[in-house]
Amino acid sequence: MTLRISIIGFGAVGQGVSEILMRANNRHPIRVVAIVDSRGAVVDAGGVDLADALQRKRSAGTVATADATGMTALDVIENVDHEIVVEATPTDITTGGIGLTHIRRAFECGRHVVTSNKGPLVVKYRELCELARANGLHFRFEATVGGAMPIINLSREVLAGNRILATEGVLNGTCNYILTRMDDEGVSYEHALGEAQELGIAEADPTADVDGIDTAAKIVILANSLFGMDVGYDDVDVTGITKITPEAFKLAKESGHTIKLIGEVQENRDSQDNRLRVAPKMVPRNHPLNIGGTFNLASIQTELAGRITIGGIGAGSIETASAILSDILWIAGVSGE
Amino acid sequence: MTLRISIIGFGAVGQGVSEILMRANNRHPIRVVAIVDSRGAVVDAGGVDLADALQRKRSAGTVATADATGMTALDVIENVDHEIVVEATPTDITTGGIGLTHIRRAFECGRHVVTSNKGPLVVKYRELCELARANGLHFRFEATVGGAMPIINLSREVLAGNRILATEGVLNGTCNYILTRMDDEGVSYEHALGEAQELGIAEADPTADVDGIDTAAKIVILANSLFGMDVGYDDVDVTGITKITPEAFKLAKESGHTIKLIGEVQENRDSQDNRLRVAPKMVPRNHPLNIGGTFNLASIQTELAGRITIGGIGAGSIETASAILSDILWIAGVSGE
């Protein structure tokens, strides 16, 4: 059975999904029946021409066709026949943003949701899961944490039966790039940040990354989805990397350590005093968390298997889209057979 | 629905499975209806008393009860009603050993198989998969490669849709312990081996580990199961670690490297000249494969997601049993709903 999908939001991730499906050349049982961005949509029940759509976006700045200019995401979600909504609009971790509205409506309209959008999960994880369950639908979000690093599906499926006690990880590629450069070259934070901005690894306004906000959002998602907690952004104790000096790296080095921005979730079943934290930490040089560049890595402490580590490229259009594809194929597998 | 299982072979892994199920206290939908070792069996359709069985094995050297002394694995597989055979007898990678007979018979009798036994997969992977398929049964073997490191199920399920181009890994904890000690302390191979033997990390006859045989068996299993190859032990080019000197480590160190025993599979679609190799390799100090002690780690090169790494404890009764449990629960999930 072919699953029909819509792509809501046509930035790096939405375009990555189109790119992958185009390259796969119908190898997967997936047909894109609508793509929408902020200016309009393209809709084709027989399958959107993905090469055309990507071309139009690049040249005209919108995916919209003349007949569907002004058509909104909600129009598509409500009125186009399809099974899966791929929600990939820009994230807003304070309110959940427009993504939250899209996901709610998708479930109300009987459509599964696959998303890379952290905001809705940080703000309303439990409500969205309950809405999906009440409607007999799937809600998958591997792409929200760590790009191509498959921590969520690994933990929930492969490690089933093996209780997770704690997780800690390097979950932000921009911060890790900056810290790796500071460690390797002895340069200042400002210098390494400038370098990262030149390379397009850090944004012009790097606040969300360097202040630990992005990592904290991922910690909230892991806490809710892997540990069954019901927490929000304010439950995380957050310190960023902007105050780290070359001297701190020198001291760390002298004792065989480096400094990494570590996000952690630790469950305390007895006291309900769970630990959710993002902060720079000393990490021994031969520790699995001492990975370089923009790679992400998480260490999962399990009851039976001890420590399991999982790593992958933390960002990138195709890499993040590959996580979305694996979620879509999972739904195809469980609901299509 | 409760799944009934038999445990064939009651060494470290079989006892680990019993231990885990006992601790889980009926949390899982699994009932052990028979356990067999080389001297006999215990059979109870209502559920074997696992604490008693473990106690009997420790004190009497066999799990057998008086009425089932001399009962064989084949008797259990053929005549006891159950859904899943857990095959955990000692491995023989030359002939497949008795485990091969057990697995064939299990499929012929309509039972799913979960195993930690490398031999049958190294010798007859394709035949066993076809036999399982022909009978509509599941064949799961996460525990055969890397103990608790979930490389097989990660690759086959979580990374579905994402073609795997190559895999390389540190897949033998004994070798890695010896090499880590040689690197850390500058000691000779013989010295580090002696230390590992004292700690019970290396066996009295360490040949299978230090000559790379165990790693090569795992490479065969990965090549067949993740890459769809049809290869055997003789297709792997194998070099062990016994010739590595402290001087080699010194030279490696001077250029920022260490030495690891690396197993690798690389597919060459054009020439059919696939590369299957086990050999000591120079690894940069900040490379993900530079992990210490008995940890195992694999790096998986994928088409869409780039490099994914997965690590876990490579051996141990409970750790390996946890991989078996995840396979059993997977079968419970797909066949029980």
pLDDT 10s digits, B98-128: 999 999 999 999 999 999 999 999 999 999 9
pLDDT at position B302 is: 94
- Residue B161 and residue A326: Cβ atoms within 8 Å? yes
Q: Which of A292, A304, A318 sits opposite B304 (nearest CB)?
A: A318
pLDDT on residue B268: 80
Q: State the amino acid at position A2 in one-letter form.
A: T
Contact state of A325 with B290 under an 8 Å Cβ cutoff: no
What's the pLDDT score for residue B337?
Answer: 35
- Span B18-35, pLDDT tens digits: 999 999 888 889 999 999
Give me the mean pLDDT over the A150-155 stretch. 92
pLDDT band at residue A135, thresholds of 50, 70 and 90? Answer: very high
Inter-chain contact A157–B157, Cβ cutoff 8 Å?
yes
Q: Which of B218, B243, B253, B281 is catalytic?
A: B218
**Is residue B336's pLDDT more than 60?**
no
Q: What is the mean pLDDT of residues B194-212?
A: 95
Summarize the confidence of residues B172-199 as an average pLDDT. 96
B73: helix, coil or strand?
helix
ipTM reported for the complex, 2 dp:
0.90
The identity of residue A299, as a single letter, is S
Position A337 pLDDT exceeds 50: no
Q: Chain-wide mean pLDDT for chain B?
A: 94
Listed residue (B287, B89, B130, B104) closest to B224, CA to CA: B130
Q: List the single residue in A162, A291, A308 with the smallest CB-CB distance to B288.
A: A291
Indicate the residue type of A34: A
Determine what percent of chain A is predicted with pLDDT higher than 70.
Answer: 98
Q: What is the pLDDT of residue A336?
A: 46
Give the pLDDT mean for B303-318.
Answer: 92
**% of chain B residues with pLDDT over 90:** 85
User: Does residue A174 contact residue A209 with C-beta atoms inside 8 Å?
Assistant: yes
Find the residue in B nearest to A156 (Cα).
B158
- Among candidates B28, B159, B310 on the partner chain, residue whose Cβ is nearest the Cβ of A326: B159
Residues of chain B in contact with residue A329, where contact means CB-CB under 8 angstroms, are: 160-161
Q: Which of B148, B291, B305 sits opposite A312 (nearest CB)?
A: B305
Q: Using CA atoms, how far apart are residues A305 and B150, in angstroms rounded to an integer?
A: 10
Which of A22, A185, A286 is best to mutate for the B interface (most B CBs within 10 A)? A286
Is B218 among the residues known to form the active site? yes
Residue A335, pLDDT score: 58
User: Which pLDDT score is estimated for B317?
Assistant: 92
Average pLDDT estimate for B286-299? 90
At residue B12, the pLDDT reads 94
**pLDDT band (50, 70, 90) for residue B156:** confident
pTM value > 0.90: yes
pLDDT (mean) for A125-144: 97
The active-site residue, picked from A57, A118, A218, A281, is A218
Residue of chain A whose alpha carbon sits nearest to that of B24: A161
pLDDT value for B253: 94
CB contact under 8 A, A313 and B291: no
Residue A274 has which token pair? Answer: 């769970």
CA of A121: how far to CAs of A74, A84, A217, in Å?
19, 18, 9
Chain B residues near residue A305 by CB distance under 8 angstroms:
148, 312-313, 319, 322-323
